[in-house]
């Protein structure tokens, strides 16, 4: 499973959606449930899964599946 697909499933879990409802292009704009509080749930899960620590800037910027995947790859462990 790609990093994007893993993250999409974690986003679905955080938002209370089925994994099929969150595509690889999902963003906090495209999904109503993805508000700033749920975003913190997503951040914690992504950090835990990939063993990385995101800075407050990362958290503010990483508001889509693809942006989070880029952050994960950037930190080295990448899936």
Binding site for other proteins (CB under 8 A): 1, 6, 10, 13-14, 16, 37, 40-41, 44-49, 53, 55-56, 59-60, 79
Residue 64 CB, shortest distance to other proteins, in Å, is 18
**In terms of CB distance, is 32 or 53 closer to other proteins?**
53
27 strand-pairing partners: 64
- Please tell me the distance from the alpha carbon of residue 42 to that of residue 48, in angstroms, as a whole number: 10
Angle at 73 between CA 70 and CA 78, to 5 degrees: 130
Residue 34 CB, shortest distance to other proteins, in Å, is 13
């Amino acid at each position: 499973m790609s990093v994007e697909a893993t993250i999409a499933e974690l986003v679905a879990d955080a938002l209370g959606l089925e994994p099929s409802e969150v595509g690889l292009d999902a963003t906090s704009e495209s999904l109503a449930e993805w508000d700033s509080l749920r975003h913190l749930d997503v951040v914690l899960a992504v950090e835990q899964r990939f063993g990385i620590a995101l800075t407050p800037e990362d958290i503010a910027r990483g508001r889509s599946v693809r942006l989070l995947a880029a952050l994960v790859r950037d930190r080295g462990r990448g899936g």
